[in-house]
Amino acid sequence: MRSILTLILLLTCLVEASAEKPFNGLVTNPEGKGIKARVSVVGRDKRTMADGKGRFGLTDIEADDTLLFVYKHDMLRVAVEGRQSISVVWNVEADEYRADEDEDLVNFGFGYVKRRESTDYTSGISGDRLRATGCSNLEDAIMMCYPGLKRIGGELCLHTQNSINSSSAVLVLCDNVEVNLETINVNDVKSVQILKGSNMYGFRGVNGVVLITTLSGEDVLKR
């Protein structure tokens, strides 16, 4: 009987050790408005993106990890310091912040992690770099800048084709709307980001995602 209990205890410990642990976060300005910052773990291949309310989720964050927040041209490093969640109030203009643990975020479990965490993506390809290739076709320009993206069996893929009956095509989004690359003018592109096997977009993102951001009116005036 004692040996069975010991075995159960060992199995429980192994399960707990191998299970992912959620780490929910919130990044807002002093007025409480969410900041859509990119969030990564310094020195580790783990990153995500805060949503419109500033919510983000990661898994298996270590007590001594440091989070890097990037918003436009501003960056902020925040040490985890053993917290189980983090609520950051970031005054970007004054370059000041406050960080606290939030019990509500801890209790939310995997709520902010689901479909948000990504562990592999490019840092981005600027529109200027794409145009410098001399390609008038956006797809050709992206493939020149990112050789891992290829046309396989008529599909734009990041990986070898899965099977005859299963599509390996990447999901292409322009300003968060699904599009065909042929409809986007390379001269209208501000940046392109490529995610490999992202779970941010559910099963549609399994084969990878091409994220296109177009130039705003203000961007055009600056050119």
* 1 inside domain: no
Higher pLDDT, 195 or 77: 77
pLDDT of residue 162: 52
**Model pTM?**
0.49
Distances 103 to 32, 109, 150, 162, 168 between C-alpha atoms, Å: 18, 11, 45, 43, 41
Tell me: do 56 and 143 sit in the same domain.
no
Tell me: do 46 and 88 sit in the same domain.
yes
Answer with the one of 43, 76, 107 that is the final residue of a domain.
107
pLDDT of residue 13: 40
Tell me: do 58 and 88 sit in the same domain.
yes
Q: Tens digits of per-residue pLDDT, 167-216? A: 788 899 998 889 999 999 999 999 898 887 665 666 777 788 898 999 87
Does residue 223 surpass a pLDDT of 70?
no
Mean pLDDT to the nearest integer, 24-29: 95
Query: What percent of the chain lies above the pLDDT cut of 90?
Result: 38
Does residue 158 surpass a pLDDT of 70?
yes
Query: For all residues of the chain together, what is the average pLDDT?
Result: 80
Q: Tens digits of per-residue pLDDT, 98-109? A: 999 998 898 888
Whole-angstrom distance, CA of residue 207 vs CA of residue 171? 7
pLDDT of residue 154: 85
Q: Is the distance from CB of 46 to CB of 36 less than 8 angstroms?
A: no
DSSP state of 220: H
**Distant-in-sequence, close-in-space partners of 190: CB < 8 Å, separation ≥ 6:** 126, 127, 213, 214, 215, 216, 219
pLDDT of residue 163: 47
Domain count, the chain: 2
Does residue 73 surpass a pLDDT of 50?
yes
Residue-range definition of the domain harbouring residue 182: 125-222
**Distant-in-sequence, close-in-space partners of 46: CB < 8 Å, separation ≥ 6:** 40, 58, 59, 60, 117, 119
Tell me: do 177 and 148 sit in the same domain.
yes
Higher pLDDT, 111 or 215: 215
Higher pLDDT, 56 or 123: 56
CATH label of the domain that carries residue 190: 2.170.130.10
pLDDT of residue 69: 93
Tell me: do 36 and 80 sit in the same domain.
yes
Tell me: do 95 and 158 sit in the same domain.
no
* 33 inside domain: yes
* 13 inside domain: no
* 80 inside domain: yes
Does residue 113 surpass a pLDDT of 80?
no
pLDDT of residue 15: 36
